[in-house]
Every structure is written in C-alpha cells, then in structure tokens.
Chains A and B, each alone.
Chain A
Amino acid sequence: MWHLTLRDVVAHRARFALTLLAVVLAVTFVSGSLLLTDTSDHLLDEQFGTAAAGVDLTVRDAAVFGAAMGVEVDRDPLGPDVVDRVRSVEAVDQVMPVAEGQGLLEVDGEAVVPSGASVLTSWAPEPFGAFAVREGRAPAAAGEVVLDVATATAAGVGVGDTVAVLTDLRTDLEVVGLAGFGDADGLPGATIAMVTLDDAQRMLELGDGVSELRVTAADGASVPDVLAAVRQALGDDYDVATAQDTAAASADAAKEQLGSLGLVLTAMSAAAVLVGGLLIANTFAIVTSQRRRELALLRAAGATSGQVTRAVLGEAVLIGVLGGVLGAALGVLAAGGLRSVMAAFGLPLPEGVTVVSASSVVVSVVLGLVVTVVSAVGAARRAARVAPVEALRASVDLAGGRTSPSRARRALRGVPLALGLAGVAAVVAGAPVMVLVPAAVATVVGLALLGPVLMPSLARLVGAPLLRTGVTGHLARESAARAPRRTTSTAMALALGLALIAFMTVVATSLREGMTGTYRETVTADLVVESARAEMLGGLSTDVAHHVGELPEVAAMSRLRYGHWLDGGQTSALSAIDPATLAEVTDLDMVAGSLDALADGGVVVAASVAEERGLEVGDTVTMTFSYTGDQRLPVVGVLDSVDAQALSTGWFVSLDTYAAHFTEDLDASVFVRAADGVPADEVRAAVEGVLADHPTAAVRDQAAAAEARGATVDQVLGLVTVLLVLTVVIALLGITNTLALSVAERTREIGLLRAVGGTRRQIGAMVRSEAVLVAAIAGALGLALGVGLGAATVTALGRSAPLAIALPAGRLAVVLVVAVVAGLVAGLAPSRRAARMDVLQAIATH
C-alpha cells in the first residue's frame, strides 16, 4: 500500500501541502518554545559559568537559602578579618575581595534604566572577573569607572566622558575603560559599572566589608581539598562553595525568574497542538470523504479494509514526519520571534545564538508524528468503512458520513457536555477551582461531539443576517450548515484560541479590578512613592522615606517593604509595616488582635490565611528566614483579607522584626498623607523635589498607584494574548484550508452557478461569507466558553480572595470583531480560487 500512499500524496500535492501546513504550524510553535527554553537555560548557564570560569571558590556570608522566587537574597558583608583568614589557608593561592551592589547609572543627568539590574561592582581582574577591558584601561584610582560595552554603546558614552552612579550617594565618575563580558558586550538587561574596591565600598556604604571573596587554589591543590580547608578555617558562619556551584545556583535563580514564562509557553504550545490537531483531523476527514469513490474502487478491486486504513495512516505518517521535521527547523526562527515578543513585553532573554538541542528536535518531530497520526485515526477508520459498492453508485455523497446519529447515540454524545457544564456549575456553587480543568476539557470535548448535531441550527441562526446579502449569503449559510462536522471542527479550532483569549481577558481584568479596587479602598494615602522599575521586592532606598518624612508638607508617612521566607520549605512572601504610622495612610480592619501588637515582634496574618491554616491569635508559627533561619513568631492579629491584599501579602511583621531577620534594606512603597490645607500639587512638588537623586522613585497619587497594581497583570495579559493570537492564526489557516478543500469539493456546483449567471464577484462573496460565518460561529462559541469559564474561575477564586467578575465588554467585542475580520481574510485565498475557477472545467468535472 505504500506506493499507493506515495502516489496519492504526489497526485494531490495541494491538499497535501495544506495538511502539512497545519502540522508544521503546530510543531513550529512547540519547537520554538522548547528551543527558546533550551536557549535561555544554556545562555544563563554560560553567562554565570563564564563569570566563574577562572575562580575556584567563592566565600560569602552564610544564608539559610540563597534565592527565593528567582531573587538572590542579600547577605551581610564580610569583614577584613575573613579575607585574612582565607588568605592564611595554605592551599589558597589568591583571594580577590569583591564589593557588589546596586548603582543606577546616570548619563548627562538622565538615568539609564535597564529592564534588569543596575550593577555596581568592584573591578575584578582576570581570572577573578569575566569582564576584560576592550578599550582604555581598568579603574585604578578613586573616581574612575569602567562600563560594559553594551551599555556604553547604547548610552553613547566613551572613554574620557563623565557619568554618575547613584547609590544612596551620588558619585561622579570618569569613564576610563570599556569592558566586554567574555564574547558578549554586556549582560542582558543590565548596566554594569566597575570601580575600584575602595570606591565600591564607599559608594555602597560597606565600610571595609566586601560582598564576596573569589579564591583560587594553589598549584597542585585540588578544589575539594581547598574547599574543605577554607570551610574549616571559617566555620559555619560563612558560605564557602565551589565557583561552579555558586554559578549554577545563580543560574538557577535566573532561570526560576523565567520559569513562569516557560509555563506560559508550555500552556500556549499545548493550545497550539490542540488547535493543530483539530485542523489535521479536519483536513484528513475532508480529504478522505473526497476520496470515497476512489477508496470504494480500491475496495471493489480487492483491497481489504485494513489496507485502506493503512493507506490513510501511511499518508498521516508521511505528513507527520515531514511536518515534524519542517516544524522543528522553523522552530529556530520561531524561537527568535518569541524572543522578540518577550523582549517587547519587557522580558529580555540573554543574547546569543539559538541553541538547538537534539532532545527538543526529537520531541518536536515525534510530537508532529503522534499528533498527525492520532488526528488521522478517525478519518482512517471512516475510510475503512467505505463499502465497495459505493464505487458503483452514480452519485457519491461527497460530504460523507452525514448520516445523522441515532437518538441514543446523540444522547450519549451529550454526556461530556452535560458533565462539563455540571462541573462548571459545581465550581460556581462551591467546589474547588481545580475542578474547572476537567470540566473545561469535558465541555470542549462535549461541544466537539455535539457540534455536528447542533451545527446546522447554529450555523443557520448565526448566519441569518447573511440572507440579507441575497442568494450568495444563503448558499454560504447552507454550505456551512450542511457540512456540520467540517464546520464544527473548523470553528472549534478557532473557538479554542478565542476562548483562551476571552478566558484570560476576563480573569486578568477581574484580577486587575480586584487589585486596584482593594488598593483604592484600603490605601488612603494622598501620595505613594514607589519604584518605577519592576523589582520584585521594590527598590526604594531608605533615603526616600527619610527625605519625604522630613517635609513640612507631609503630615504622615509610612513605609511598606517585602521579604521572602520559607513556609515549611515553600517560598512565601511577607509585608513589613510600621504599626505606629500605617493607620494614618490606610484604612485597615482587624478581624482579631491588633496591629500595634506587631511592635513586640509577632506576626499578623490575613483572614484568608488564618482560615486556611486554622490560625488564631495566640498561636505560634515557624518562619524560615534566609538570614536568621527558623524563627517562631506569635500570631498577634488577623487582618481583613481585602486589606491584606491591598498590602500584597498575607503575612505582616513590623519593620523592626524585618530588620532583625533580613539583610535587605529597600522599601517597596512609601505612603504619604499631606498636611492639612496643603494643596495636592504642592505636596507632590515638594516630594518630587527631595527625590531628585532617586530617578527611579515614582511619585503617584492614590488612583495612579492603584492603577499601577494592574500593570503587571496587563503585561502578562498582553504577552499571553500575543502568544494566543498565534494559535488563532493557526486556526485561521484552518479556515483557509477547509474552505479551499470545500471549494474543490464543490467545483461542479460553482461551475453551475457560474453557468446560470453567477458572477465571479458573487462566487467570491459566497466563499468569503462562509469564512466569515465560520469565524462568527467560532467567535460566539469561543466567547461563550471563555467568558463562562473565566467567570466561574473568578467566582471560585473570589471565595478566598476579594475578587469580583469584571467583564471587559469592549475588549471582548474587539476579540469578536477581530475574529470575524480575520475570518474574512482567511477566506480571501479560497474565494479567489473559487471566483477564478474555469466554468467549463467545473462543468466537465465529474
């Protein structure tokens, strides 16, 4: 049968190409995501590996955990005695102390704000540092700085220029050199300023302390031996590790930051595969039904049904492998494209060539094969059921298998949908939100199963307006209604993509509304100062609060900062507040206990946390801090959940408690209440005035600060939507594909229409109308599905957090309109083909 398969493929290149396209697109997306993950992992490993290349050991202050949520913890500086103690270890060759911290670069009075970190570090010559001078020289005296080439190029700075670096101090520095990081010009999304150790210590206010020691082993000493010896010399208070381990840990932290991205990409890939699978199944179904007569002839000529099945599956294998290979190859381009998309949404990945790993290629190819073959199984089984006698019938029912299912089977087909809807209802009524996942799957499967039964009515309903456009609209509507299986799977593919977009839009908007709403209700401050950058822990120097607090225009000021801790091994976050002043700038409701009690070193939990954990005032909880390890803190109060959400976490300690357990010293928000009688803009001007040296500190009024809560949600929604649009594009190609096949199938009908006076324009309009109709059906289904599931999710989440359903009608309408317009575009190619069809050939086709 193989030669038959091959001959068939060659004979029907066009439809083969369309099927192939569906496979290629789905695989490309997956392959692109995999390669992107490979690449970023590889580049991060390489980046940190390069930094550690010439060093054997690193010594830092001990920490219970080194990083949380992708953020490396701050550690106490090491005193000069530590350097001496390490130097005195026999197996140690050299020790390079390094002072490192944050320092915002300012060029010509303008802050250079990278998407990532603004690094200030002491210059570490090779082999201790990976930066090598490319131009000029290393910093040798106070007031000299070397910048990374990438930053210098972007900011238009050269050797001899003067720049400023802002720590808590402002320091003017002369650029004496430009350095590259290994082969790269710099680090992704970061600015690097390198000064002498003395300067770094002064600017970072470390005294004579340093952040880290980089150690090389003496000739002949093995790294493990040196490690052991240094550990012994320093004891448990210090973290001594091989440079490789330190680099790997840093790389892991950086990867964790991108981890959620990987999750998003995986989810999108799954969606793309699902949509692609539907499309492939659809194409095979149409192609097989168009081949019914040919298959019947084969059967009549003695082919067994097994041979027919194998012929169809053989074609699937061929297409699957070819599509997998092409998709994997195109994935390299897609990875680049995805990277640009990420960068556009402020998530830059390290620069470097896309890494093509064998495993990703294999996974992509196998995926292409499996998806194609699985999707073709249905068509193969239908093909096997073609009776030889069909070859003898004068007319073959080209739509194939249009037999309406029996009542019982129809009822059976309704089961998944009923189960799915029941699941959704259960979640709304109180079942856990995770029930929605199987419920959503069942609903989608149910719709796909029932589609062919419901589609005729649905298509006629949605297509009713088409009747106004005359006979062409009528024909388009009938064409969609009379091939229900085809219409269903084409529309379902698009509906899935649209449903995901609608779902994300509803959930994200509700979240954003929830966040801004609670913030607006809880925070009563007139002004909020916060970092304009997206640091996870906030990034305001303590100076900000200090300066602001001294202003006569300010009646009250309160600080909020965040920290990571381990909750039984799980990373969690807490908020640190000043119980004495917080009430001046917020409106908080305590469910039990009091905020003031925090002053004695306890913890206040959100009501939702208290409920979940069964905590009451008087209980004790164990919290693990990086700096101080396990600590038992008494619960001294329970805060209303809405208020807690406005302050971002479910756990609250006082600033003093924070200072005792954290090395970090950055504020996230500084809340300001204006003095009575001082106009808003005057306070604002005053606050902005004292913050001149803090260019990243944004001064916002309460409303703007509330809106800023939603910025991250908007960013994620934007990114996810862009990725989902790719799924929609695949689905739209499905419309093109299906219509092209349908036009081929209706050649004689089109010829007849042309013969009796249908103009080319009318034929084109007919096909385009069908495309628009399918897209509109998909839009209706997708929006219903997405909004329904989104609303159910929000309802379920709203039980444990203050959240209400927000329906962004405008955005959803845009989704619908875009879908319909895109459907029109998808129909252009097949409509042109139909319009250009040669009348005589169409009539002559049998």
Chain B
Amino acid sequence: MTLLTTPPSPTDASPGAPAPAALARGLVKVYGRGSTEVRALDGADVTIPAGRLTAVMGPSGSGKSTLMHAMAGLDHVDEGSIRLGDTEVTALSERQRTLLRRERLGFVFQAFNLVPSLTAEENITLPLRLAGRSADRTWLAELVATLGLGDRLTHRPSELSGGQQQRVAVARALVTRPEIVFADEPTGNLDSRHGHALLAFLQRAARELGQTVVMVTHDPTAASFADRVVFLADGRVAGELTDPTVPTVLARMAGLEQPAPRAEV
C-alpha cells in the first residue's frame, strides 16, 4: 500500500519535536449538580502530537468520551482551554464549531457511523457535500482502494458488513484531509481480524501520511497500535506511555483500575 500524498504540515515544524496538533489545558466538565454532580473532566491536560496515533485509555466512566467530544468541538467544557492549531475551540460559536468539524476534523464512532439512505460513496463524501465542495477524485480513489471498498461504493450501509461500514467511516473521516481524526472505540463492534485491519490502517495513516489520529479505546491490543497512550482516571490524565505494547498497557491499566481514593463517597 502506498500513500503518496503529502501529509498535512504541522503548524510549527521545529525539527524533532513537531508542534502539537491539539492542546487541552485544565479541562473541567461537570454534569449535574449537588448530590448528583459528576466531574467527568476534572482538570485534564492533554497534548496531541501531530502526525501520531494517540490512544486514550482509562476505566469506564473516566471521561474518555467526554474529553474527545470536548476536543472535537462537539461539546462545551466548563473550564479550560482547547487549542486546535491556532484556534481556541472553547471560544467558538456553535456554527463555527460545526464548520470546524466539517473542514478540519474527522470522526469515526463505535456504531451508527453512516447515513442509512446514502450509498457508501455518498457517505464517504458527505462532509464535502455538506460543505458544497467536490471531492478530490485522486485522493478519494486512493482511500477507497487502500481500504478495499472499490466494489462496495454503490452499496447502502445495510448491505455492508460491520467491518466494511467502519472502513467507510474511516474513509469519510479522512476524505477532507482533516487536521485530526477522532475515533471513539472504532473497533468496538468488530471481531479481532477486522479490528486489526482497521487499526493497521489508522496506524499507517499516521506514519505514512502524517495524519493525526486520536483514538479512544478499552482494548490494550488496539492501544498497542498507537504511538502513544494517554491514560485517564477520574477526569484527569493519569499517565502516558510511548510505543505501547499489550503487556505494558495491561500493567498500567491494572494500576488505574484500583479504586481511586477520591472516588469514594
């Protein structure tokens, strides 16, 4: 597989340590009030390096999805700052955030990634069509070929397997050449063979294309495809791991899943 196209250039290209694609500082997100108050994010500081596959891990309820939604401009935070390149996401209006998602971000969700009434191809080009732009045919052809979707383009989602659906979702996420692709448990519904293929693709997108990818996952194997893992616990970053392997990830996770003192009421 060849991905010849030039990677999106990092905003600050100082050698060795490329500028981060996204920076989150002191994020606080509180749900509910009083006795039902939940601090989904409680002072999270996260740096997403450009051109890397970053995995976000943590126990259930630790705030992974909340963090991802906040960074992707899908949700507001109560405190803190999120910078995407030069843009301060928390300062954007609803409409600006929508345009940000359309122009500069890509998404892969765990399930229901596709619009059922559109064909695979129409789903892939959906963000472009929403923006009223036409697709870069070469790039599209390359994505389709790489993801092995060539003979499935005219099919509707209901006629695709789960793995194919997720690959269509990945193609859609990449079609605009976004600054960052966010994926929330993209392999959650796939068997390990299809899951691994997808992960391998994301990994290559980062390594060969310089595509920044942030992936939330529960699965240590999935995390081992990443260049770096950020661990979350109780809404805060509880550590990082570079060049993770399944055993190292497992060891870290075991430490995190000890009941945190703060969580006791």
Contacts and interface: CB of A to CB of B under 8 A. Distances in A.
Interface stretch (A160-168, A474-482, A583-591): A474-482
A749 B115 contact: yes
B172 interface: yes
A520 interface: no
B69 interface: yes
Nearest to A471: B129
B101 A756 contact: yes
Interface string A243-260: 000000000000000000
Nearest to B104: A757
Interface string A747-762: 0110011111111101
A445 interface: no
B228 interface: no
Nearest to B182: A755
A757 B98 contact: yes
Interface string B132-144: 1000000000000
Interface in B80-127: 94-95, 98-99, 101-103, 106-107, 109, 111-118, 122, 126-127
B119 to A, nearest CB: 10
A112 B95 CA distance: 64
B109 A753 contact: no
B240 interface: no
B129 A470 contact: yes
Nearest to A483: B117
Contacts of A843: 74, 109
B115 A475 contact: yes
B131 A482 contact: no
A839 B75 CA distance: 8
A758 B113 contact: no
A534 interface: no
B100 to A, nearest CB: 8
Contacts of A470: 129, 132
Given A478-B117, A758-B102, 15 more contacts: A470-B129, A471-B129, A474-B118, A475-B115, A478-B118, A755-B72, A755-B101, A755-B107, A756-B101, A756-B126, A757-B101, A758-B98, A759-B95, A759-B98, A760-B98
B117 A756 contact: no
Nearest to B113: A752
Contacts of A759: 95, 98-99, 130
A839 B107 CA distance: 13
A748 B116 CA distance: 10
B67 to A, nearest CB: 13
A473 to B, nearest CB: 11
A758 B75 CA distance: 15
Contacts of B130: 471, 753, 756-759, 762
Contact of B74 (A475, A758, A839, A846): A839
A444 B89 CA distance: 56
Contact of B127 (A756, A839, A846): A756
B214 to A, nearest CB: 15
A840 B126 CA distance: 19
Contacts of A756: 101-102, 106-107, 126-127, 130, 172
Main SS of chain A's interface residues? Answer: helix
Nearest to B106: A756
Interface in A472-511: 474-475, 478-479, 482
B99 A757 contact: yes
A482 B115 CA distance: 12
17 contacts: A471-B130, A474-B118, A474-B129, A475-B117, A748-B112, A753-B115, A755-B74, A756-B107, A756-B130, A757-B99, A757-B103, A759-B130, A760-B95, A762-B130, A840-B69, A840-B74, A843-B109
B43 to A, nearest CB: 21
A459 to B, nearest CB: 11
A840 B69 CA distance: 8
Contacts of A752: 109, 112-115
B102 A757 contact: yes
Contacts of A474: 118, 122, 129
A840 B66 CA distance: 10
A843 B75 CA distance: 12
Interface string A32-50: 0000000000000000000
Contacts of B127: 756-757
Nearest to B126: A756
Contacts of B75: 839-840
A639 B116 CA distance: 70
